Amino acid sequence: MPASAGGRKVDQSGAICCRVERGGKLSVLLLTSRDTGRWVIPKGYLQRKEKPYRCAQREAFEEAGIIGKVRKRPLGYYTYLKDQETSLAVSVHLLRFKEESDRFPECTQRRKIWIAPAEAALLVEEPELQALFRLIDADNPLTSQDRLKPRRIAGRRPTADAAVSLATLPSSH
Q: What is the pLDDT of residues 86-108, one digit of tens each?
A: 899 999 999 999 999 888 888 88
Count of CB atoms within 10 A of residue 28's CB?
28
**Size of the chain, expressed as the number of residues it contains:** 173
Q: Closest Cα partner for 124 from 20, 16, 18? A: 16
Tell me the whole-structure pTM to 2 decimals: 0.77
Collapsed DSSP state (helix, strand, coil) of residue 64 = helix
Q: Which domains does the chain have, with CATH numbers?
A: 3-159 (3.90.79.10)
- Percentage of the chain modeled with pLDDT above 90: 57
